[in-house]
Structure 1
Amino acid sequence: MNELQIAIDGPASAGKSTIAKILATDLKYVYVDTGAMYRAITFAVLTQNVNPKDEVAVSAMVPELEISFAPGNPVQKVFLNRQEITTEIRSVEVTANVSLISSYAVVRTAMTALQRKIAADGGVVMDGRDIGTTVLPAAQVKIFLIASVHERALRRYKENQAKGMPESLAEIEEAVQKRDHLDSTRQISPLKKAVDAIEVDTTGLSIPEVVHVIKEIIHQQQAVN
């Protein structure tokens, strides 16, 4: 089996991370959670009481931050300067600020370099907003996952309910729309479908169905390589 670079992009709550993790496990590839990297930086900004809107102050923090991962069950563990923050980076406050933090040039440059280093030897599944366009433009497989705003908000609502978070569906739907706008209009590495990416609409599809569709695309690419 050829060791491919598999890039999965798409808007918030389109199912990228869930699908990417399953694919990585099934293919015995490395899963790279780029969103967790940006969330880790956002968490550091908030806990150190730095204004998220102060790009200069945020950028000055980046060289001091060490982000790492470790296998976990049921989720991959995330560490910031060797302190586990797996749960903390999924807070409402981090979610509300991560799009802004990830738009800063110094932040994106540092994370892109780290992501490319991890993916250099192939055998990786990486998901995010700009993997196929910026981070891994030569990836052999590029997938762009989409779903309706309502469907994505409903998914996030159900996840939050399970965690005891009180946000209403309407609030989450508004937040998803705002996140879409911020991600797609930022100047540096905006959310955009790569020209050679294959779009997969996950609206109304089960997780196994989406995985099946993408595996078929991967198998076709492996035949070419």
Structure 2
Amino acid sequence: MHKITIAIDGFSSTGKSTIAKQLAAALGYIYVDTGAMYRAVTLYALHHGLISEDGFKASELCLKLKDIQLGFLPNEQTGRSDMLLNGKNVETEIRTMQVSRFVSQVATVKAVREKLVAIQQEMGKAKGIVMDGRDIGTVVFPHAELKLFMTASADARATRRYRELLERGDNITYGEVLENVQKRDYIDSNREESPLRRADDAILFDNSDMGLKEQFERIYNLAIRIIEKL
């Protein structure tokens, strides 16, 4: 059976990663969480005092990109892959609200995007890959056989994210999460370098009122139809 490339883009907290992981597992494909890669670079910037509420030393981060090594480590307990930053497992650290507050700023930096896009394109050369992010269908894999653009209302997305953070034990308010979602939407959509936008041939997928099971079944069937036509 032929393998294809599946590109999933969309706004934050639309469940891109969850669906991408399920889809990759069902098809026997490789899953790559590009958002985790940008979060890892953001974590590096935070640890090295390059970004904070007081400002962002973007030029200094660019000079240090050569020192940043990224990788994925299979996690037998979760069945997924954890993010590695310079050999250290940072999967838990990159999911905090502190990282969420700054990741969109880091993702606007051209040199950061160029470095990560090059890594992502190398990963996808053999096809059989599901990748989610903000510019997968427009920049990383413009010729992907299946492109999805996922969206949902800001309230729906903030509610999902808020519940996740509460379950993890984070001390956070719904208002803070909603503000972060709206701020990231604005930065992602208005940045100069690879702004978030729907590719012309991407299928718009609004899951505001849709459960995970229904989402997965619809997207899985789309993928199967494309694969069977090859």
Aligned residues: 225
Cα deviation, residue 224, structure 1: 2.7
Q: SS where residue 51 of structure 2 aligns?
A: coil
Residues 86-143 of structure 1, C-alpha deviations (whole Å, 9 max, x = no match): 1011111111000000110000000000000000110000000000001100100001
Establish whether residue 60 from structure 1 lines up as the match of residue 63 from structure 2.
yes
Partner of 1:126: 131
Alignment of 1:193-208 (within 5 A): 193-208=198-213
Alignment of 1:9-158 (within 5 A): 9-51=9-51, 53-72=56-75, 73-74=77-78, 75-158=80-163
Alignment of 1:157-172 (within 5 A): 157-172=162-177
State the distance in 1 between where 2:112 and 2:184 align: 18
State the distance in 1 between where 2:103 and 2:29 align: 27
Partner of 1:192: 197
Range with bigger deviation, 118-127 or 48-57: 48-57
Cα deviation, residue 189, structure 1: 0.5
The letter of the residue matching 2:60 is: A
Cα deviation, residue 70, structure 1: 1.3
Residues 157-193 of structure 1, C-alpha deviations (whole Å, 9 max, x = no match): 0001001112111221111111100000000111100
Alignment of 1:172-191 (within 5 A): 172-191=177-196
Cα deviation, residue 51, structure 1: 3.1
Q: TM-score, normalised by structure 1?
A: 0.97
State the distance in 2 between where 1:191 and 1:50 align: 24
State the distance in 2 between where 1:76 and 1:210 align: 22
Residues 69-95 of structure 1, C-alpha deviations (whole Å, 9 max, x = no match): 011131421111111111011111111
State the distance in 1 between where 2:71 and 2:220 align: 28
Cα deviation, residue 216, structure 1: 1.7
Q: SS where residue 138 of structure 1 aligns?
A: coil
Establish whether residue 209 from structure 1 lines up as the match of residue 222 from structure 2.
no
Partner of 2:224: 219
State the distance in 1 between where 2:196 and 2:217 align: 25
Gaps of 5+ in 2: none
The letter of the residue matching 1:163 is: R
The letter of the residue matching 1:139 is: A
Q: TM-score, normalised by structure 2?
A: 0.95
Range with bigger deviation, 215-224 or 170-179: 215-224
Q: What percentage of residue pairs aligned between the two structures are identical?
A: 40
Cα deviation, residue 65, structure 1: 0.7
State the distance in 1 between where 2:64 and 2:42 align: 11
State the distance in 2 between where 1:181 and 1:42 align: 18
The letter of the residue matching 2:47 is: T
Q: SS where residue 156 of structure 1 aligns?
A: helix
